[in-house]
Every structure is written in C-alpha cells, then in structure tokens.
Structure 1
C-alpha cells in the first residue's frame, strides 16, 4: 500500500482525535484570516465612501468626529455652520461647488439628509462614481424625497410611497412631522456607502417641517403651520450641519483650509477627507495589530494541538509502527507517514478555516451594510494571505517532524516488546 492511502486510513481510524484537531486548526486559521480580511475590506469600504471632495467644513470639534457625522452619518454635530457663511463660501472665486448638508432627523431608523441639487450633480464616491437613480428622479417639489437602495430594500418602498419624517436621529421617535408627509420620487442605485441608508430631501423641506417646532417639540395646535401654508413661508435655512467643497485648483486647498480654520466670524473647522481617513485608520491600526497578535497566538495554539495529538497517539501506535517495519517499511517510511498525517490534518484544517472565513464574511456583510451602510466585498486573496497559509503549512510540517523523528529512531523490537 502506498503512503497516501495508508495515511488516510490511519487518520480515519483516529477520526475523533483528528476531527477535533482539524476543528482547532480551522478556528485558528479562520480567526487570523478573518481579522485580515475584515480590516482590509473595512479600510477599502471607508476609503471609497467619498471621492473628489477637497474639504469638509463643519463646526469646530474633532476632525474625525466631523468626518464621521458628515460622511458616514455616525454621531451628531456639536454645532452648525451659519447659512450666510455657506453663501459666502459658495461664491468664493476658488470654490467650484459647495454642497450643504443638514442632518438631525430620521425615518424608521434611517438618517434623513437635507441638501440641494448640487449634491446629485457633484457628489462622488468610489472610483469617481456619481449618484445614479435606479428608479425615479431627484427631488423637485418641496415634499419630495429620494431614498437609498438599502432603505428601499429594507422597508419595501417604491416611487410614489408616502413617508413621515421623525424628529431626531434615534431609531425610535415619538415626535413625528406627521402633518407634512413626503412622497418618494426616486430610489438611488446601490452605492455600497452610507447613501444607501439615507433618506434625501431638500434643505427647504427641512426648514418647512421645523417651522412650527420649538425646543424639539411641536407648537400648540393653534400655532401650527400646515403643509400648504409652509410653501408660502421663507424657507431659507438659518444654518447647515456641514459643507462639502470642491475647489477649482488643488493648489488652493491648504490656503482655503487655513482661512476657514482662522475665520473669526464663527468657530469652524475644515478638514481634508483623505488625511482624516488616514488618521482614523492610524487609531484603528493599534486595534488591528492587537487582533492580529491574538490571531497568531490562536494559530500557534492550533499547531500545538496538532503536535500534542500526534505525540499522544505515538505511544499507542508503537505496535502499528513495528508491524509496518516487519513487513518491509523503512524508518524513512515511518517518518514520511507521520509527517504526511500532520500535513494532511493541517491542510484540511486550513481548507475548513478558509471556508469559515467566507461564511463569516457572508454573515457580516448584511449586518455591516445595514448598520453602517458600507458594502464589504468578497475576499481578494493577496500574497500576504497566501504567505500566511504557506507559513502555517510549513510550521505544521515541522511540528509533525518532531514525533516523526521519535518514531524514526525507534527500533523494530521496541514496538514488539510488551510493556506493563
């Protein structure tokens, strides 16, 4: 019988122990690969959320906080930017376009974004991709709304549906703008960004639904403004949450940023999205390194389990080894048999671990997209991942060589001697 079938039968006879060893290796490999894949996929998803925007302007706070609430719709702004400043900035000779953003309301757990037509014309994400509609069009009427792909899928909305916006950004709200319902007129094609989880309306609409609100509560019934009466009011906003800026020349970026940060009229902050993303990942990088270290330790534990399993079975297999020697097997054959078993168990564990990585990603993709609006791609295996797998297989071979060397050194009579 050749070496490979003999190794397979030997493992099958010890299938319980071999199965547990394969499981421990699979868990360790899956943990290590999952940490790498999730970090790479998350980094790519965050980086592709916004492109072509030179500066983001908001109230003075932290640069990461400004990036999170303006682009990823996570958290809240500490203050707003006045409308006169926005108008002044939009008319600046070095500014090509300026997109105002107004956040603070929600619809059934999804954030509501107030903006203008420049958002649909100039906002870019991914590889300079623009916003496109899977159905319908951009808002034209005061009470028109455009929803992201995830909103449409989760809530089952289509063009023509009527929706009510709730006050505040919580998933549950008891204060709704029920007297001013909106009509869905468009569904944005999937983007893999927070746009998919956003309800878009006009800035004037945000102003209209808050005309009769004071201190976060609706005015008494006799003082409320109807949906039709709101159309006759001046709906110019007093302030916006943030502003996205595109410049005519990239050379002017730092000059404009400095002038905004030093503006004396109100405390403002201008950030470069790319630089701030790098700062964000420099913070997350420490956690990533820690998780990778844990993954390496678990992987080492899996190799130790493999070594212990072979060593534990070696004494029980003394007679088996002696019989193989008696029928003509050389010490080198015994050595190769044990190493083959170790490599086979490690290879099966690696295969199961890779499959578990795909399974973990399949489970995490809808959860991450539903929670953060980020689309994780399927694994694209890099040279680093292949090097990890090859390194693990090499380590498993070396681990299997230790008990194999012990079996190699034993004599034929050793396995035939009865020990009490």
Structure 2
C-alpha cells in the first residue's frame, strides 16, 4: 500500500478532524476569493462613475467629501459657491468643459440633481422613455429610481429638502416625470435629474414662506398666489448647456471640469485653491487615497484568511505525520 492510499485511508477514518480542517481551508480560500472580487468590483465601479471628470470644484472643506458628494452622491455637499465665480472659472483657457450641479434635495431618498443636458452626455445616458427636461420642474429619472419608486411618464411628486428621507417637502412645486433613462450601471441610474433653475425656484419658495411666516399677512382674493407663481415659473426656458441666465445673485453646489490639456492638471488646482474662495479636488487622487485607507482593512482580512489556510494545512499535516 503506497503513501497516498495510507493517507487517504487515515483521513477517511477520521471524519471529524478531517472535515474540520477542510472546512477551515475552504473558509480561508472563500474569504480571499470574495475579498478580491469585492475589491475589484468596487474599484471598477468607482472609476466608472468618475470617467470623464478631471476635477471637481466646490466650497472649501474636505476634498474627499467634495468628491463623494458631487461625483458619487454618497455624502453631504461641502456648501455652495457663487455662480459669478464659477462662470469666471469657465472662461479660463485651460478649461475644456464645466458641468454645474445644484444639490440639496431628494425624493424618497433618491437625490435630486440640478444640472444641464451636458450631464447626460457626460455619462452617455440613453432614454428608455420620454425625453430630457425642457422647463423647470420637469425631471428625468435614472433606471433604478423609476423601477424602485414605480414612477411613470407624467407622474408628479414633491421633492424634500436635504438628502435624507423624512425632510421637509417643497409643497409649492410638483415635479413632473418627462423622461426615464436606460440602465447604465453607473451613478446616473440612482439619480433624479432636473434643471438648476428647478432647484433654485423650489428653494426660493421655501425662503419666501419663511419670510411670510415671520410677518402677519392677509390674503383674500389672492390666496392662490403661490400656485400661480409656480405655474409662471414652470414656463421659463432652462439652460440646456453651460450656466443658467439670471439677473440675480445665484449659487451652485459644485462644478465638474474637463481639462483642455495636461498642463491644466498642474496649474488649475493650485490656482483655484490659492486664488479663489473655492476648492479643487481630483477624483482620481482622492479615490486612490480612499482605496489605500480601505486597503488596510482588506489586507487585515486577507491576513486572517491566510492564517486560516495555514492552520488547516498544518492540522492535516500533523494528523498524517502522527499516523
């Protein structure tokens, strides 16, 4: 009887210890496999969502928070920036394109993003039904939003202030669904897209209500003035590219930039961070930092998995040696 048969017979006659060692070995191998798959999918997903975005500009604060809130829509925005300053930056010769975003509202936990049609082109969006917004308070739904909330073309809803469920509703204006996007497998699937003007007008109404509540007023025949005002604003054309046209001092939340040439990667961030009230953050740089931070935990789990594999292998070897 050769050594292989003797070893197999011994292991077969010790089912409890053999089964335990095999289970530990399988657990270690499974941990490593799952960790590698999750890490790979996570990095691919994050890189895919940031494709085409060279730089993000927003209010001063945490650069990582700026990236997470503006590109991945996973965190709170760092604040707003003046549109006048944003427009001045857009005229810089090193900037190829700027896509402005206005954030701050949600519907049933899905974020409402005010932008222009360039944002759709940035992610290569395609329509399953309907068309993009053309007027204020029209919205285009990502595929996941439409599926999870069961919204159809023509449906209306009131957005909520903030980015979490349970916030105060903007009751004065109802958003109408005019388009639903095809699934793209990126961040746009879970967004509700509209014009920047829509975000402005809904917040204007909230500020107006706060002022009215602080002062006594009497409405008789003009009690519907809020709804008439809403109807008037819903007929205003919106900006399909670039910045909205306005004679008021307005703000946007962030800017998504594309560089005109490689030199911009060196000059623009330094110029913005030191010479303006805004901050610039690179998605690739900040996500590499995040991957490094997460890599510590992943390495620890990989270490545990290797220890389990070593223990199981050692257990089997000792058992065979003693036999």
Give the TM-score band, short-chain normalised.
0.7 to 0.9
Stretch moving more, 88-97 or 103-112: 88-97
Q: Does 1:201 align with 2:191?
A: no
Q: Which has the higher contact order (CA 8 A, sep 6+)?
A: 2
> Which is greater in Rg?
1
Give the secondary-structure state (helix, strand or coil) at the position aligned to 1:23.
Answer: helix
Q: Does 1:404 align with 2:320?
A: yes
Q: Does 1:240 align with 2:252?
A: yes
**TM-score calculated relative to the size of structure 2:** 0.82
Instruction: Identify the residue that residue 49 of structure 2 maps to in structure 1.
Output: 49
Instruction: Identify the residue that residue 141 of structure 1 maps to in structure 2.
Output: 135
**TM-score calculated relative to the size of structure 1:** 0.65
Instruction: Identify the residue that residue 240 of structure 2 maps to in structure 1.
Output: none
Instruction: Identify the residue that residue 300 of structure 1 maps to in structure 2.
Output: 310
Q: Does the 8 Å CA contact 1:104/1:167 hold for their aligned counterparts?
A: yes
Instruction: Identify the residue that residue 225 of structure 1 maps to in structure 2.
Output: 226
Post-superposition Cα deviations, 1:282-328, rounded to whole Å, max 9, x if no partner, equal 22222222222222223333334x43xxxxxxxxxxxxxxxxxxxxx
Question: 2 CA distance for matches of 1:215 and 1:298?
Answer: 63
Q: Does 1:156 align with 2:150?
A: yes
Instruction: Identify the residue that residue 287 of structure 1 maps to in structure 2.
Output: 297
C-alpha spacing 1:404/1:216, structure 2 compared with 1 (3 Å) = farther
Question: 2 CA distance for matches of 1:155 and 1:231?
Answer: 24
Give the secondary-structure state (helix, strand or coil) at the position aligned to 2:105.
Answer: strand
Q: Which runs of 5+ in 2 are unaligned?
A: 237-245
Instruction: Identify the residue that residue 90 of structure 1 maps to in structure 2.
Output: 90
Residues 159-178 of structure 1: pairs in structure 2 closer than 5 A: 159-173=153-167, 175-178=168-171
Question: 1 CA distance for matches of 2:265 and 2:209?
Answer: 37
Give the secondary-structure state (helix, strand or coil) at the position aligned to 1:106.
Answer: strand
Post-superposition Cα deviations, 1:211-232, rounded to whole Å, max 9, x if no partner, equal 2213996954969732213347
Residues 328-407 of structure 1: pairs in structure 2 closer than 5 A: 399=317, 402-407=318-323
Question: 1 CA distance for matches of 2:119 and 2:291?
Answer: 27
Post-superposition Cα deviations, 1:314-358, rounded to whole Å, max 9, x if no partner, equal xxxxxxxxxxxxxxxxxxxxxxxxxxxxxxxxxxxxxxxxxxxxx
Give the secondary-structure state (helix, strand or coil) at the position aligned to 1:31.
Answer: helix
Post-superposition Cα deviations, 1:10-32, rounded to whole Å, max 9, x if no partner, equal 76665455444433322222122
Shift of 1:278: 1.4
- 2:175 is aligned, of 155, 158, 182, to 182
Q: Does the 8 Å CA contact 2:158/2:173 hold for their aligned counterparts?
A: yes
C-alpha spacing 1:9/1:294, structure 2 compared with 1 (3 Å) = closer
Q: Does the 8 Å CA contact 2:65/2:78 hold for their aligned counterparts?
A: no
Instruction: Identify the residue that residue 59 of structure 1 maps to in structure 2.
Output: 59
Shift of 1:69: 0.8
Give the secondary-structure state (helix, strand or coil) at the position aligned to 1:225.
Answer: helix
Give the secondary-structure state (helix, strand or coil) at the position aligned to 1:211.
Answer: helix
C-alpha spacing 1:161/1:197, structure 2 compared with 1 (3 Å) = same
Question: 1 CA distance for matches of 2:293 and 2:193?
Answer: 31
Question: 1 CA distance for matches of 2:8 and 2:161?
Answer: 65
Shift of 1:184: 1.3
Q: Does the 8 Å CA contact 1:67/1:273 hold for their aligned counterparts?
A: yes
Shift of 1:159: 2.3
Q: Does 1:252 align with 2:253?
A: no
Q: Does the 8 Å CA contact 1:211/1:230 hold for their aligned counterparts?
A: no
